[in-house]
Amino acid sequence: MGEFVRLEVADGVGTIRLDRPKMNAISVQVQRELREAAAEATERDDVRAVVVYGGERVFAAGNDVKEMADLSYTDMVKISASVQSAVTAVARIPKPVVAAITGYALGGGCELALAADIRIAADDATLGQPEVLLGIIPGAGGTQRLARLVGPSRAKDIIFTGRFVKADEALAIGLVDRLVPAAEVYDAAVAWAGQFTRAAAYAVRAAKESIDRGLEVDLDTGLEIERIQFAAAFATDDRTIGMRSFVENGPGKAEFRGR
C-alpha cells in the first residue's frame, strides 16, 4: 500500500484510491504508486473489476506543477516515460475499469480518467486538459486518448484552448458515460464494476484486449486480433460452462469459474 495510492478490495471489486491532499496532484511518487496499484489489481484473482476514485471532493486536479516547474528539457526526457507509464498501467489492467469522477479531473487527472473503460461522473464535475495554459501539452496520453474518445476536432478544441468542460457537455460529447449526483458517484461505479465479479473473466479480458488493441491498428489486423482471441476462448472452462448452460437452461444462467 502506497502513501498516496492504495488498492482496496471488497466483494471482487478493487478500488484504486488516490488520497493526496488537497487536490490529488499527481507527483512522481503518485505515478509510481499508481503503477504498483495497477500491477496488484492485474495480478490478484480476487479483483474482477476496478474502480479508480479520488474521493468525495476531487478526482485529480492534474500533475504536480510545483514539482515540474523547475525541470529542464533533459530532466523531463528522463522522467516523461514515468508520466505516461503510470496512466498506461491503469489502461492496461486486463479487467473492466471505471473512473468515478467527482469535482475536478484536469490535466493528468483527466488523462487518468481517460485510461478507464468507462467514466461515471458527478453532475457538477469539471474535466479538461489545460496544459497549454502552462505552455506545454498533455503528456500522459491526453492528445491520443481524448482524440480517440471524442474525435479529433473536439479534442483539438479542448486541448488548444485549455478550457474546462462541464459535466453536461462532457456527457454530450462522450467524454463521460453517465452523470449522477456527486454523493452517488462511487456507489454507481462500484455497482457497474460489480457486474463482472461472476463474469467469464477471460472472455471479458479477451474482449477488452481485442477492442483496445484493435483501435491501435488497421481493420484487417484488428479482425485478426479478434479471430485469435475468439478461438482462444474455446480453451477456457468458462466457455464450456457457458455453452452447456445455454443449451440446458437458456441464456444468462451460467455460473462461471473465471478460468
* pLDDT tens by residue, 232-241: 999 999 999 9
For 213, the grid coordinates are: 488493441
Cα separations in angstroms, 124 against 51, 109, 121, 185 = 19, 16, 8, 11
CATH fit for domain 5-194, picks 3.90.226.10, 3.40.640.10, 1.10.1060.10, 3.30.950.10: 3.90.226.10
Tell me how far apart the alpha carbons of residues 202 and 206 are, in angstroms, rounded to a whole number. Answer: 6
Tell me how far apart the alpha carbons of residues 119 and 135 are, in angstroms, rounded to a whole number. Answer: 28
List, by residue number, the catalytic residues. Answer: 111, 131
* pLDDT tens by residue, 55-70: 999 999 988 888 888 8
What is the structure's pLDDT at 252? 84
Start and end residues for every CATH 1.10.12.10 domain found in the chain: 201-249
Full-model pTM: 0.94
201-249 falls under which CATH superfamily? Lyase 2-enoyl-coa Hydratase, Chain  A, domain 2 (1.10.12.10)
* pLDDT tens by residue, 79-91: 788 889 999 999 9
Per-residue pLDDT band at 151 (split at 50, 70, 90): very high
Tell me how far apart the alpha carbons of residues 49 and 96 are, in angstroms, rounded to a whole number. Answer: 5
